[in-house]
Structure 1
């Protein structure tokens, strides 16, 4: 039997859905300066394998603990990391609201990320679910925590761009 979803107003649900759509568009655009702006200053962003998450192991593929660290990653993407360029495209499922408070939401959504390298076919790059804590700020809804829990233990040799 499914757990009862918390009561949430249509306006809040639409704002959360818009946040997810805007995030996907931003990280797919290649304009990396947009990415950190989806987060509050004191945030957590983790890309973690499902097995580690489910067993409570802290080891993550990527782990950032502040907006400043996200900005450092953006600098790395642009200036220091050597990689073959590629495009990515996110497909994100409808958000499931697990907990709703006036200024804080616990939300989950499935995602699939496709990667296209220049002159190659598109491939499935990363699949999993977002486990998010979203907070209301004067600038609108922002992520306080984003856990990208990916299903496969096998990942490409490098994940450069945000998931």
Structure 2
């Protein structure tokens, strides 16, 4: 992988974090290919090879449906979130396809409350080059804690 490709990859990770932190949910699905996979899975299940995931979406259409749910049907206390994402580590690069990992921490701030650590883990990604630039073909979010405070509403 050359410097330009690595720079594009790190920009993809930074832009993703900025988009999901902005609350403009329409941006989120655009980081993915049409036939994508987005899953949230506890570390214990991942390490044991268990398929059970907290959330599992298998297309960009399903991501758009989740956006609709966030806006129109899910009732929850509103909160802000802020991602801190480590530099991606390239595990494999073949042509225009990259298998990467990056650690993340998400902080949550509810209105009139102090910020707390909400979720910590790592992304395990397959990124592909498309005519529109780099996109996630798959994103597996492996979170370290077995417990989730309340629920996960917004994308991690």
Normalising by the residue count of structure 2, what TM-score does the alignment of the two structures yield?
A: 0.99
1:31-110 to structure 2, matched below 5 A, reads 31-110=24-103
1:152 maps to what in 2?
Answer: 145
1:13 aligned counterpart, secondary structure:
helix
Match of 1:135 among 98, 105, 128: 128
**Deviation per CA, 1:67-115, whole angstroms, max 9, x where unpaired?**
0000000000000000000000000001100001111000000000000
2:118 maps to what in 1?
Answer: 125
Would you say how many aligned residue pairs link Structure 1 and Structure 2?
Answer: 156
Segments of 4+ moved more than 6 angstroms? none
1:135 aligned counterpart, secondary structure:
strand
1:5 maps to what in 2?
Answer: none
**Deviation per CA, 1:52-75, whole angstroms, max 9, x where unpaired?**
011111110110000000000000
1:113 aligned counterpart, secondary structure:
strand
